[in-house]
Amino acid sequence: MVSVSDQYEAFPYPERDPADERTRLITGSPSDPIEMDHYLFGGARDWSKPLRAMVAGGGTGDGLIQLATRLSRAGRPFEITYLDLSCASRAVAEKRADVRGLTGITFHTASLLDAPDFGEFDYIDCCGVLHHLSDPGAGFKALRAACAPTGGLGFMVYAPLGRSGVYPLQQAFGALFANHGPAERLAAARAIFAKLPSGHLFKTNPHLGDHKQSDAGFYDLLLHSQDRSYDVGELLDELTGAGWDLASFCQPGRYDLARFVEVPATMDAAQAMVIAEKLNGTMKVHLGYAVPAGAVRPVASAAKRSLVPHLRAATPAQLAKAVSTGNPFSIKSGCETIRIALPKSAAPLIARINGKRSLNDIASGMDPITFGGIWSQIEAAFTPWDVLLYSRLLT
């Protein structure tokens, strides 16, 4: 049997070429500082204070490089501790940081279960790791022990419905190639994969693509020896059992049952999200943020006019132009197309968003009630899809 450690020494994941850092920055959720601020700190973190962060199970460094690069570009102080069991993966992450000239990072070859040994952190990134532990609950608890009372966690774990077809193949390949080494397992599995019928559940799943990208991607998706997924209910139970509260999922609109049906008055928020996941049917991961139990803070909103809005997925000019026509327009969320309708009067306000102006600045010269009515529509349309987020990172 190939262990998890053996796998990542043979096939560091995700496969990355450090030379590419000269031409592109890989971005995403969690660990975009603006998104982190929005969901964990009410959009009001004081970024003049150093951020003490941990990247737990950092792999080849996507989350690490994004976080350190964006904080460096914004001129914000930070200290980041990177942990990973794989020496090969760590070497890639270190080289990527070196190519970018990033400082303020310390690298350790260690398990995320050792996280509490490194102290307390304002922010912990754990993306795509917990579901590969023999005891994920122990991982959630270790991270909680390493989180400061005022801090939070950014996580990604697998979801079942969007990964349809993965687990039968993992089980079949695991039984067939239990005594093979990593390279032998990969070659043999690829040969079988090429013979699968076109109607196989995996081959009809449009949400999966890692197996097409690289050997490391194929192995991680279909040959992993330790892999589980969480539906919403299971994930919430795991968080609760480890002393966490969910702050929010990223793109919370995907978990909004009201998109599909009127929510029964007797159904609580957790139950509604469980049903929404089943009706959505396409989620292959759950991305979100959590805080220590009992420490839930209000997610950023226009209720606080000193907050600074940011737009993602399009420039303010592009969105303002689309809104100015008065016609509905579309935005993409994963495989979904979301229709947005806003009044023309929203266009000038959207055009004023630059990541530095506060809501008070954007509203300057307007009647407060008029501004509030228009902005509430902008917020309701965009924040469920992470198109609009609040943070003072750049101010």
* Res 313 pLDDT > 80: no
241 is a domain residue: yes
pLDDT at 33: 98
Local confidence band at 174 (pLDDT 50, 70, 90 cut-offs): very high
Same-domain check for residues 376 and 274: no
Instruction: Supply the DSSP symbol for 298.
Output: P
**pLDDT tens digits, 292-311:** 999 978 889 999 999 999 99
Mean of pLDDT values over 367-393: 97
Cα–Cα distance, 178 to 176 (Å, whole number): 6
From residue 88, give the alpha-carbon distance in Å to each of 20, 59, 60, 222, 362: 18, 9, 8, 20, 48
332 lies in the same domain as 288: no
pLDDT at 331: 85
251 belongs to a structural domain: yes
Q: Are 38 and 135 within one domain?
A: yes
Quick one: tokens of 123?
């922010």
pTM: 0.96
Q: How confident is the model at residue 193 (pLDDT cuts 50, 70, 90)?
A: very high
Regarding whether 45 and 10 lie in a shared domain, the answer is yes
DSSP 263: P
- Verify that 284 and 147 share a domain, yes or no: yes
Q: Are residues 236 and 384 in the same domain?
A: no
Domain that holds residue 332: 309-390
pLDDT at position 136 is 98
pLDDT tens string 249-269: 999 999 999 999 999 999 999
Q: How far apart are CA 235 and CA 237, in angstroms?
A: 5
Q: At what angle do helices 166-176 and 182-193 cross, to 10 degrees?
A: 120
Helices (H), 196-332: 210-213, 215-222, 232-241, 269-280, 316-324
The tokens describing 139, both together, are 């991982």
Let me know whether 373 and 235 are in one domain: no
Question: Taking all residues of the chain, what is their mean pLDDT, rounded to a whole number?
Answer: 96
In this structure, are residues 143 and 118 in contact, taking their beta carbons and an 8 Å threshold?
Answer: no
State how many domains the chain has: 2
Q: Quick one: 59 and 133 in the same domain?
A: yes
Q: Give domain status of residue 178, yes or no.
A: no
pLDDT per residue as tens digits for the range 25-39: 999 999 999 999 999
pLDDT-derived band at 220 (thresholds 50, 70, 90) equals very high
Q: Answer with the residue of higher pLDDT: 277 or 297.
A: 277
pLDDT(87) > 80: yes
Residue 314, pLDDT > 80, answer: no
Instruction: Give the strand pairing for 121-127 and 147-158.
Output: parallel
Q: Are residues 334 and 251 in the same domain?
A: no
**98 phi and psi, to 5 degrees?**
-65, -40
Tell me the one-letter amino acid at 329.
Answer: F
For residues 265 and 381, state if they share a domain. Answer: no
Percent residues over pLDDT 90 in the chain: 93
What's the pLDDT tens digit per position in 94-105? 999 999 999 999
Same domain, yes or no: 277 and 383: no
Query: Is 209 part of a structural domain of the chain?
Result: no
Q: Is residue 103 part of a domain?
A: yes
Whichever domain contains 58, its CATH number is 3.40.50.150
